[in-house]
Amino acid sequence: MTLYDGFINQIFGLLPQNGKTFQYEKSPLKEGDKNSVLLLRDTAYELGGSQKPCVSTTIVSSSFEFDNSVRLFGKDLSEIHEDCPFAKIVLLQIEDIDEEEAFDKIKELEKIRYIFCPEGFMTRASALSLREQIRVGKKAIRDGVSFKDYGNALIERYSQHPLVKSVSIIFLTEFSRFDSLLLICDKIKNTTSALNHILDNLLFDCASCNLKSICDEVEGMKELHMKKR
């Protein structure tokens, strides 16, 4: 699965040079209850809240090898005191998968962000808007929880999936190019949608398809389309 490799390179090209990298080690955080709610009175702040720039994406590749690290650009959790901009990028190296099952497997991996959240946090995610706002509990701040802890908990969760070989988690809380990142994430979402159309044989006339620009841009998409036809 290499359809998304170009987007990974584009994201790497956007990232600033002053980030921090934390190699994986076991996280002290436990998985929270799926039905738990973090009330406002117990919330220190919300990452991506108050209509601040916010974007989240999950990208898969069978050719990239990631280093099971957490990368942070901007302030850590203990340094933030109010709602702030936020981006979360999950990079997954996966076993090479057959084109026929690609869409279902990608959506299965994307679903993890809706069902997993460590204790002391609450995630509010929207697939349509690409936003993923995270409430951070006051107790988590008092306990000294960091993005390293949060990211390592995510690495552990994704690594439990049999397809996943390696992971990299990127957090951004200060970033001057959110608009550019959002455009790339939108193309990633549309690429997955185009993949679904192709695999389901829903469209045969490329000229009439509203995803034609994505197929034209993503190497290998047209080849897959012609194979299905």
Residue 103, amino acid: F
Q: Which amino acid is at 201?
A: N
Q: Are strands 54-61 and 132-137 parallel, antiparallel or unpaired?
A: unpaired
Q: What is the pLDDT of residue 202?
A: 53
- Do residues 85 and 53 make contact, with C-beta atoms less than 8 angstroms apart? yes
Q: Which residues contact 145 (CB under 8 A, 6 or more apart)?
A: 28, 29, 77, 120
Instruction: State the pLDDT at residue 205.
Output: 62
Strands 86-94, 54-61: parallel, antiparallel or unpaired by DSSP? Answer: parallel
pLDDT in tens, 174-204: 999 999 999 999 999 988 888 877 666 655 5
Fold of the domain built from segment(s) 5-176: 3.30.1650
Q: What integer pLDDT is reported at residue 99 of this predicted model?
A: 73
SS3 annotation, 116-179:
CCECCEEEEECCCCCCEEEEEEHHHHHCCCCHHHHHHHHHHHHHCCCCEEEEEEEEECCCCCHH
- pTM for the model stands at 0.89
Place of tokens 């034209």: 216
**Opening angle at CA 222, ends 217 and 227, nearest 5:** 165
Instruction: Tell me the C-alpha distance between 226 and 165, whole Å.
Output: 30
| DSSP three-state, residue 186 | helix
The Cβ-side half-sphere exposure at 138, using a 13 Å CA radius, reads: 6
| Residues in the chain where the model's pLDDT stays below 50 | none
Task: Give per-residue pLDDT as tens, 107-120.
Answer: 999 999 888 999 99
Take residue 157 and report the two structure tokens written for it. 């969760």
Q: Which two tokens stand for residue 163?
A: 């397809």
Secondary structure class of 100 (helix, strand, coil): helix
**Nearest Cα residue to 107 out of 199, 33, 225:** 199
Residue 130: left (phi > 0), alpha (psi -120 to 50), or beta? left
Task: Give me the pLDDT at residue 80, please.
Answer: 98
pLDDT of residue 200: 64
Helical spans, DSSP H, in 19-119: 102-110, 112-115
